[in-house]
A and B are shown apart, each in its own frame.
Chain A
Amino acid sequence: MIPVAFQRDFGGFDSKFLGITIRFEDPSLWELYVKCNSIGRNPLDVVKVGNEALRSGTARAFQVFSVVTTLAHEARHFHDSLLSPYGNHLFRIRTNAAINGLQSIGSYINGRKILPVPVTRWKQKTPDELAWLNGYWRKVFKIDEDSTPPRLSGDQLRLSKQTEAAYNMIKNLVRNPETDRLPYRFQPAHVFEASGILAQIQNVYTVFGVDHTNLFMEVLFKSQDASRYTLPLRILSSLFDKQKRPMDTAIMSIIIHWCIMGDYTIEKYGACPTVRFARLVDYLSKVGLPSPDARASDLYRLWTRDLKVVPIEQALENTLKVNERSLDTLDGFPSYHRETFADLIDTFRSRVSAAKTMKDLFLAIPDSYVRPYQHQENLSNWVAAPIRVDFIGSKLVSSEESLLPVFSIQTAIKLEDGKLAVSRAIMNGQTEGVKVIDSEKAASANDLITLVDFCFSDFCRDEPDFDIARRTLRKEGLFAFELLN
């Protein structure tokens, strides 16, 4: 079990932000991260940090290994998201939802001072519940405002319906209703997390060594708290056991990667990573696991043929075409729309370009991506990721002069002594790789998507970023009123 007093998760892929996000509760862990990940670091110093951690007990060692290698884990999520049809599909729907939602939200506001959110939940309120809201608002806001949702028509109704439909699609994408009914929860996120954790295991091995990797894996695999990271890996591990083979993380990575490459344009929800995982595991349990030196491209051809799914090359080509069609639609918007959504459209454009770069590189030598060691050794070839850092509880306190060379500050409080307590920042540099994405525009696009999530999504209402949306609405003279049930 990972002791709860320690921060367990230093990342967390956020599909709203076109980059990677790392999180720190304790500024000293941020310092450790910088020390071990800065460009001019001495690898021997990093090894020393790892060895000292190994001697200081399991909990501390796990924490240190997690902090130092979190970038490898998150970089893998970022690249998987750019490359996979799933990641592309999700971002396209999100972009469309944001553009439609931002246009239709005005019709819900329509001169109001209080905006109940999410509007989908608001529209389902019974007359009794609406009456309760009226009374509550009178007490809280000292104003009489009718809580009845407006009746929309014409374009506003169409945009609102399209936005709601988009959120239903997102919900079904992230939580496949079929696999959600299984006795254990198994969702696409589990498969993507497995990919991230395999990258991280490789990175712990490369950076620190064998003993460190064994400790890291033992904690992860035995911890109930880490089940979301390891569910598919534990299933694969039992397959290796049954076939009396030592666990092979490179082969595991090849398997996991195949699962995230289903073609949503043709196979719809049959392309879901969970469905592909279940089918592939069933198949491998019958025909046996591949040999350690098998080439990914050969395996993918075989599995695709035997399981009768769309070849990965075609899935990537189809994804690219749909991306480009979506971009054409955005470029065809009237100029005032293109100006209003400029950062969102530019971010989408750079994402389409990044996905194409990833596709071309992957198809040239699939093993160079799917085998974690090769992926990390060739990091400079892949697309560079903007890096967003969240300091939980605004615990990074420093002067503006010392922060600005490192960060663009997104959210901070100015303290009495003039220093800043930072809660969110974008790093000036990006991860190693080909620079395609503008970090600042990606952050701006994230804020727009967050605002629409806040107004429309009836799930994931505990999103920490919603405070940003709340403040944005407040600046417009609106009180957002969260409907809690």
Chain B
Amino acid sequence: MSPLPEIQIKFLSSSEFIRELETDFRKVGEEVKVISSGPEKDPTELDFGLNEVAAIVTIIQGSFYLGELAFKLFSALKASREKTVVVQTPFHRAEIHAHNDLTQEEVQRILKSIIELGQ
């Protein structure tokens, strides 16, 4: 798939991590547009899985998405107490876990995989 001019993407994680991410995104400028953000009141499953989570929906320019975003997410996860973020585009969803051997390249691979349309 050729890089898209813009990609709609939702990040879901702890409220604290989403706040940090939003602050970061708002500094970026026109390459990242924040559409909505706030606590996600929904349980993460249809009944027994409650978690205190928040989400931010953004539209990100294709060049930023395939370049700097991986670095931003990787750095944020490494620095934060929170070690998991769910990333979701209209086509796919993935979880990124900041285990010890997570690399920026791995984050980039995941980000690319969630904009694949599939066969």
A16 adjacent to chain B (CB < 8 Å):
yes
Known interface pairs A5-B83, A90-B47; A175-B35 also in contact (CB < 8 Å)? no
Least CB distance, B1 to chain A, in whole angstroms: 8
| Best-buried of A190, A192, A228, A392 by chain B (most CB within 10 Å) | A228
Nearest-CB residue, chain A, relative to B117: A479
Interface of B is mostly: loop
- Interface with B: A38-46, A244-252, A399-407, A466-474, which one? A466-474
Residues of B within 8 A of A12 (CB): 45, 48-49
A460 adjacent to chain B (CB < 8 Å):
yes
Residues of A within 8 A of B79 (CB): none
Nearest-CB residue, chain B, relative to A463: B45
A4 adjacent to chain B (CB < 8 Å):
yes
Known interface pairs A140-B4, A484-B8; A187-B93 also in contact (CB < 8 Å)? no
| Best-buried of B8, B41, B52, B86 by chain A (most CB within 10 Å) | B8
Residues of B within 8 A of A459 (CB): 42-43
Least CB distance, A288 to chain B, in whole angstroms: 31
B93-119 interface code vs A (CB 8 A; 1 in, 0 out): 101010110000000000000000111
Size range of the chain A interface in the assembly: 35 or more
Size range of the chain B interface in the assembly: 35 or more
Instruction: Determine which of A25, A170, A467, A471 lies in contact with B46 in the assembled complex, contact meaning CB atoms within 8 Å.
Output: A170
A482 adjacent to chain B (CB < 8 Å):
yes
Q: Given the complex of chains A and B, what is the CA–CA distance between A480 and B49 in angstroms? A: 25
CB <8 Å contact, A485 and B36: yes
B1-14 interface code vs A (CB 8 A; 1 in, 0 out): 00011001110100
CB <8 Å contact, B57 and A457: no
Q: Can you pick out 18 interface pairs between chain A and chain B where the beta carbons lie within 8 Å of each other?
A: A77-B48, A90-B47, A136-B8, A173-B47, A175-B41, A189-B50, A192-B48, A463-B46, A464-B93, A467-B93, A471-B118, A479-B91, A479-B117, A481-B91, A484-B35, A484-B57, A485-B10, A485-B36
A-B pairs, 5 with minimum CB distance: A13-B48, A459-B42, A484-B10, A174-B47, A482-B90
Given contacts A14-B48, A15-B47, A484-B88, 20 further A-B contacts (CB under 8 A): A4-B82, A4-B83, A13-B47, A13-B48, A14-B45, A77-B48, A140-B4, A141-B117, A174-B47, A175-B42, A193-B50, A392-B97, A453-B46, A461-B42, A461-B88, A462-B12, A464-B93, A479-B117, A481-B91, A484-B10
Q: Which residue numbers of A lie inside 8 Å of B, CB to CB?
A: 4-5, 12-16, 25, 77, 90, 136, 139-141, 170, 173-175, 180, 185, 187-190, 192-193, 228, 392-393, 453, 457, 459-464, 466-467, 470-471, 474, 479-485
